[in-house]
Amino acid sequence: MMLERIEAIERITGVLEDELVICNLGFPSRELYSIRDSPRHFYMLGSMGMASSIGLGLALSQERRVVVLDGDGSILMNLGGLVTAAAQSPGNLIIVLLDNRCYATTGSQCTYADVIDLGAVAESMGFNVIRFADDLNFEQALAMDGPVFAHVPVKPGNADVPVIDLDAEEIIERFIEEVRGATED
Ligand SMILES: Cc1ncc(C[n+]2csc(CCOP(=O)(O)OP(=O)(O)O)c2C)c(N)n1
Ligand SMILES: [Mg+2]
């Protein structure tokens, strides 16, 4: 049985330690926040497609590992960002595609991930690709050389979780503090 997106996020973040997490906007961020909150999490608000680019900049500018939890619609909206990440090729970047083949947050309208294999697209760019099914053992992705592209098929739809009760300034300020704190040690 294919996982719900919230189950996939739970399993992935359940095995993370010190990694910084950049999360796709909409329900994915709400789901992550409802599972566990952390200053290591950056919840994208509003800017569709930008999680992978923010993750790339972060991976290039400091040494900690960066895990981007992205969506198919957002990857497709900013495919150039994926190309740039592949060309820059930071070893500490893991892009996770939570692929439900639709824009789940806005009502599960189909994306072109329904007909185009984004794992194959990422592979052709030079990412080390790992494809998960129901057995989402994310430690396997963490053991790989980066940059990694982890393809995680998930069911369409969203969990019934509340909105994030942090404002944008709080999210960014505590995140920057977290990143700076570690780099200045
Ligand atoms: C430029 C832009 N267009 C549209 C939206 C509205 N919007 C917010 S989330 C979303 C769907 C995102 O789909 P995907 O990245 O696949 O994530 P999913 O919700 O499926 O996990 C859309 C269309 C937006 N925020 N910004
Ligand atoms: Mg989607």
Query: What is the domain-level CATH number for residue 74?
Result: 3.40.50.970
C-alpha distances (whole Å) from 123 to each of 33, 102, 151, 167 are 30, 21, 11, 37
Q: What is the pLDDT of residue 129?
A: 98
Distance CA 155, CA 1 (A): 9
- Residue 182's pLDDT is 63
* Cα radius of gyration rounded to whole Å, the chain: 15
- Total number of domains constituting the chain: 1
> What is the reported pTM?
0.97
Question: Which protein residues are within 6 Å of ligand 1, measured from CB?
Answer: 5, 24-28, 46, 48, 71-74, 98, 100, 102-106
Ligand 2 centre from 89 Cα, in Å?
24
pLDDT of residue 13: 98
Query: For residue 158, what are the domain limits?
Result: 5-183
Contact between 56 and 81 under an 8 Å Cβ cutoff? The reply is yes
Using the mean position of ligand 1's atoms as its centre, give its distance from the Cα of residue 106 in Å. Answer: 7
Average pLDDT, 10 consecutive residues per value, the chain (185 residues): 96 97 98 98 97 98 98 98 98 98 98 97 98 94 97 98 97 97 65
Q: Which ligand is nearest to the CA of 101?
A: 2
